Amino acid sequence: MKIALYQIAYQIGLHPSELARLVYDGEITGEVPGGNAQSKDAWVDLHSLRNYIQWRFDQKKLEEMAYWKAIRHIDNAIRTAKR
């Protein structure tokens, strides 16, 4: 399930360029054509993003409040996409 990168980045507390870097580094499945994180064609996979956020939390690299905020937004986006 994919979503435009710019639509989810700020909601989960990341700058779009930081989320694009995670895509480049292979941490998250997605695509950033032309290197433009603000492009409407730049996207990330919601399940991959959710797994990454979970991993960061499990590694104690993400505070609990930030974790729950990100998970809530990702889960809402997944539910919306299924409709």
The residue type of 49 is L
User: What element of type H or E holds 80?
Assistant: helix 64-82
Q: Quick one: pLDDT band at residue 83, thresholds 50, 70, 90?
A: confident
Which sequence spans correspond to the domains of the chain?
2-82
Q: Output the pLDDT for position 40.
A: 92
Kindly tell me the sign of the dihedral angle through the C-alpha atoms of 5, 6, 10, 14.
positive
Mean pLDDT confidence for 49-69: 97
- Average pLDDT for 4-11: 95
Tell me the pLDDT tens digit for each residue of 10-44.
999 999 999 999 999 999 999 999 989 999 999 99
Residue among 64, 70, 66 nearest 28 (CA): 70
Say if residues 1 and 45 touch (Cβ distance below 8 Å). Answer: yes
Radius of gyration of the chain, Cα coordinates, nearest whole angstrom: 12
